[in-house]
Amino acid sequence: MLRQYFQIADGEGSENIREQVVMHILELDNMLKDAIPPILSLLGRCPTKFIRRQHWRNSKTSSTRRNDTLRWTHNSGVVLLLTRVKRVLIRESQRQPLLFVFEDLHWIDSETQAFLDSFIESLPLTRILLLVDYRPEYSHRWGDKTYYTQLRVDPLQPTSAEELLQHLLGRNADLGSAQRTIDSAHGGKPVLR
């Protein structure tokens, strides 16, 4: 998601990634500069010398800088890191409307769930549309939110799956095996990626 947001191409070099992230965030809002190190860390492009030179220059003791640098790689820093990401996204939504899609929440990890819970609490103050999908066994605490709407997608009936495949792929003798794959692997739910 962040690679797309910062328009980072596949194979982009570390220096270009750092430049793009720093330039974008500082252009968006100089008050968000504390989000630069954790975002670069999340992108795997934040060497210690960059953090010290760009972010904490003369602002902390060297032992504090070292501890702050290391915290982005430990679980205790994950929530803080995700909070900084959320601030950037909320600020961006003031500049332009945003759409985020989170798929397969039934497989979500605890850190991402914490981010999503916090992010959802902030949505009424933003111009963000958040779309999520999940299987019935997934549970969340958003059902009572006035800005939450659930759309149920039921499994396709065999004839509907056949019609969908014909529409997407045309008539082909191999469609029978593709239809069986949809029915068995996804319980008849269309997976359109």
pLDDT at 188: 56
| CA-to-CA separations, 182 to 102, 107, 186, 188, in angstroms, rounded | 21, 20, 5, 6
* Residue 111 is assigned to a structural domain of this protein: no
Structure tokens at 106: 């039934």
* Residue 134 is assigned to a structural domain of this protein: no
pLDDT at 52: 41
* Residue 106 is assigned to a structural domain of this protein: no
Q: What amino acid is encoded at 45 in this protein?
A: R
pLDDT at 100: 92
Low-confidence ranges of the chain (pLDDT < 50): 47-70, 72-74, 192-193
* Residue 49 is assigned to a structural domain of this protein: yes
Structurally, how many domains does the chain consist of? Answer: 1
Interacting residues of 150 by C-beta distance below 8 A, sequence separation 6+: 143
* Residue 46 is assigned to a structural domain of this protein: yes
Q: What amino acid is encoded at 4 in this protein?
A: Q
| CA-to-CA separations, 102 to 44, 91, 113, 127, 129, in angstroms, rounded | 21, 20, 11, 17, 11
Question: For the range 7-16, what are the long-range contacts, defined as Cβ-Cβ under 8 Å and sequence gap of 24 or more?
Answer: 8/43, 14/45
| CB count in 10 Å sphere of residue 79 | 12
| CA-to-CA separations, 144 to 121, 126, 183, in angstroms, rounded | 12, 19, 33
The mean predicted confidence, pLDDT, of the chain is 79
* Residue 26 is assigned to a structural domain of this protein: yes
pLDDT at 179: 62
* Residue 131 is assigned to a structural domain of this protein: no
State whether residue 147 is helix, strand or coil: coil
146-186 per-position pLDDT tens digit: 999 999 888 778 778 778 777 877 777 766 676 666 666 65
* Residue 21 is assigned to a structural domain of this protein: yes
Find the domain containing 24 and state its range.
2-76
pLDDT at 180: 66
